[in-house]
Amino acid sequence: MRVPITEQTTLPQLFLARIQNTPSKLAYRQFHADPSAPQDVHRGRWQDIDWAEAGRETGCWRAALRNEGLKPGDRVALCMRNRIEWILFDQAALSLGLVVVPLFYNDRPDNMAWCMNDAGVRLLLLEDGSLWSGLRGQIPALARVICINDVPVGDAIAVAVSGWLPAQGEALDAGPARAADLATLVYTSGTTGRPKGVMLSHRNIVSNVSAGLDAVPDVNADDLFLSFLPLSHMFERTVGYYLCMCVGARTVFARSISELSQDLLSQRPTILVCVPRIFERIYARMYENLPLGCWRRRLLEQAIDVGWRRFAGQARWGDRFLWPLLDALVARKLRRRLGGRMRLIVSGAAALAPQLSRTFLGLGLPLLQGYGLTEFSPVVSCNRLGDNDPASVGRPLTGVEIRTLDDGELLVRGPGVMLGYWNNPVATDAMIDAEGWLHTGDVVRIEGGRIYIVGRAKEIIVLSNGEKVPPADAEQAIMLDPVFQQVMVVGEGRAHLGLLVVSRLDDERALCQRANIQLRAFPGYARICHIVRIAEPWTVENDLLTPTLKLRRSKVEERFAREIEEMYRRQDLCR
């Protein structure tokens, strides 16, 4: 049963209502590793927790936070992977009127320190206490560090969670927060410059949950979500956590990305909140050992073709006879690898390549693409089951207004618009105009009420002949060839496009030829004419990716400026 929501509902009220409505129903499942177990067995066990137990444990966390002398409005941070303690800490803090500051688990210590100093964080919860050595002494306002694992020895402010939590908790209530109050500061992992703290209120987030459920109303308490996208990202937090709580669905915390395929098979989720990178990896594995012309590849492509025509309502006379066989031989095997019960997959955070949409929808996956941004809490639009145009990111959610400027930039307005950027009124004024419209920076076209993403307003390469190329579109197409691990298109102000490549294949001419095969549908001026292979992968640790794995284009260009110049000095164009 869905928890009723009004304009005055807060996040702690959602949690309390869920506990009261279904106290004995399974809420969360988490894997507890047992390193002492033999190597040849499942090294640990899955543990379940119902809503009543989640409430009791949250009461212990609440009492511990209260003992720290924190006041409503104080900021508290957490840095951990998706696990039950993330939920307990979040709910306890929110019920005391505290402001939660999530940090990306794989971020660099100096960036974490900057965010905490900017927010004035008073208390920090760490899953991995060893991270504290890289943070110690950098955050003057920090008075307490709680560590789940690897507690530092001899540190005055660092304590183990086992000794910090009281044996007896306190009763939960909704606390002092009102719907309009600040609930969280989420630091966007900007591709340029320092992150900005997005201020989101309880009303911002709860309104987004309510509108999301209007878009997919059949999500219910019998559903099982597999949570693996970082809860520090608002997409997972709103859709995979608060929305689940609202309907009473079960959540299983995946062990890790490397074990995701095994968790899909063993836990058999019905709903998945996902990003395109997951589909890129599955697609690459599907085609990795299927050379052109082999019968298995032809069978796969026939299954995709027939399945796509069925999805698009363009099935031919013979497709209804072919599909049962192709489904049994090809499509059903893929669906079984995802657990065999998947009835809804929501993809967001980045654009899904058309070929990926066609492939997975053709193979029978219930895939919906949506669009949003942290500054909108975060979902702006999504496709619906029964109203799914995979070339678009769907129609706006209930209560969301959209329009475009003359240059095509999308503007959105509604209850999800952030309160502003923390301590940054100049950036706030640049993002939200006087009429309350949020300037997204994304260039779109709007047709039939649907939003179609064209590109980023500031991410367009202009060649010296005046031709414009959206690099993300070209990169997305090139990455469909599994030989490419990472790519970045360059060429601003130059005569031709160039390509930086991370790949196991070291033959640059062959890589260039393969890239241009993927770009054959693009205009002639979008042809790759220069290429350089980079040996060093681009990672969060070397500051070339954001914590949400977006490419820091300016950083990459700066890091490899010499290689780019050398690439363009060569006369051996890729022909």
Strand partners, 411: 403, 439
Level-2 CATH architecture, domain 11-33+43-246: 3-Layer(aba) Sandwich (3.40)
Query: Which residue, among 107, 100, 105, has the nearest Cα to 123 in the 3D structure?
Result: 100
Side-chain half-sphere CA neighbours of 102 within 13 A = 30
Residues 6+ apart with CB under 8 A from 4: 17
Question: Which has the higher per-residue pLDDT, 348 or 14?
Answer: 14
Check residue 29 and give its pLDDT.
Answer: 97
Q: Over the stretch 160-194, which tens digit does the pLDDT of each residue have?
A: 999 999 999 999 999 999 999 999 999 986 555 57
CA 571, chain centre distance (Å) = 41
Please return the burial class of 156, using the count of CB atoms within 10 Å of its CB with bins 0-12, 13-18 and 19+. Answer: exposed
* Residue 35: pLDDT band with limits 50, 70, 90: low
- The 3-state DSSP class for residue 433 equals coil
Residue 474: phi and psi, rounded to 5, are: -65, -45
pTM of the model: 0.84
Helix (H, G, I), strand (E, B) or coil at 415: coil
CATH number of 461-569: 3.30.300.30
pLDDT digits (tens, 9 = 90+) for 517-575: 888 877 777 889 999 999 889 988 888 887 777 788 888 988 998 888 888 877 666 76
Q: Where are the beta strands (DSSP E) in 250-300?
A: 250-253, 271-274
| pLDDT at residue number 458 | 64
Model pLDDT, residue 60 = 97
* CA dihedral angle for residue 241, residue 243, residue 244, residue 245, rounded to 10 degrees: 90
User: What does pLDDT average to over the chain?
Assistant: 91
Q: How far is CA 420 from CA 119, 160, 562, in A?
A: 14, 35, 39
**72 Cβ contact list (under 8 Å, min separation 6):** 96, 97, 98, 175, 176, 177
pLDDT at 524: 73
Q: Which single residue is written with the structure tokens 């993300």?
A: 472
Closest CA to 253 of 231, 234, 228: 228
User: Which SS3 state, helix, strand or coil, does residue 559 take?
Assistant: helix
Please give the pLDDT value at position 572.
65
11-33+43-246 and 274-340+342-456 have identical folds: yes
Return all residues near 145 (Cβ < 8 A) that are at least 6 apart: 123, 124, 125, 126, 129, 132, 155, 157, 158, 159
Asked if residues 505 and 487 have their Cβ atoms less than 8 Å apart, the reply is no
Homologous superfamily assigned to 274-340+342-456: ANL, N-terminal domain (3.40.50.12780)
| Contacts of 500 by beta carbon, 8 Å cutoff, 6+ apart | 487, 488, 490, 531, 532, 534, 556, 560, 563, 564
- What's the pLDDT tens digit per position in 403-452? 999 989 999 999 999 999 999 999 999 999 999 999 998 889 999 999 99
Other C-beta atoms within 10 Å of 235: how many? 24
CA–CA distance, 432 with 421 (Å, rounded to integer): 10
Residue ranges covered by each domain of the chain: 11-33+43-246, 274-340+342-456, 461-569
pLDDT at 193: 59
